[in-house]
Amino acid sequence: MKIKKIFGILFIFTALVAISACNSRTSVKTDTSQKDSLNTEKANDKKVSDIEDSTSTKSTEKDKNNPAANLPIVLIYNFHITNRCVTCIAIEDATTKTLNTYFASEMKQGRIKRKILNVDDEANKKISEKYEAFGSGLFVTRIFNGKETTTD
């Protein structure tokens, strides 16, 4: 019984060390001038606003008559560095499996959108700084009634 407990603790410790190694390039940076909107951010060769064009929260007469238009939009950003470790790849694979298994209809409807971004790519610099992602990171952002809430 004690051996199982010891191995369990060692396993958890090893997992924590592996995860922290993925974020070894992470730096703390706070910019209070950041906007709440992603409309000017770039992801790869496309603007992040391309993702969010359908997430516009401006109220129109058409939106008032459509209950689906008042539903929140979820943006999932999976940040990584160029040289990816096994843990980073596993996180991406687990996220993909979860989205495909449990949220396929929401993805198809466009209510959940996902971007995989390399923080080392210059095109992703602004969005990486906004989310303070300088290594591996998974951020879930909910946009509802014009307000953005992010969980990392």
pLDDT value, residue 151:
83
Range ranked top by mean pLDDT from 2-11, 37-46, 141-150 = 141-150
Given a cut of 80, is residue 29 above it in pLDDT? no
pLDDT value, residue 33:
40
Taking only the tens place, the pLDDT of each residue in 59-90 is 444 455 555 567 899 999 999 999 999 998 99
Nearest Cα residue to 73 out of 101, 40, 114: 114
How many domains does the structure of the chain reveal? 1
CATH of the domain at 124: 3.40.30
Spatial separation of the C-alpha atoms in residues 119 and 64, rounded to whole Å: 38
Given a cut of 80, is residue 11 above it in pLDDT? no
Spatial separation of the C-alpha atoms in residues 142 and 137, rounded to whole Å: 16
Which segments of the chain does DSSP mark as H helices, in order? 2-22, 48-52, 61-65, 86-102, 104-109, 125-130
| Residue range(s) defining the domain that contains residue 94 | 2-151
Q: What is the mean pLDDT of residues 81-107?
A: 94
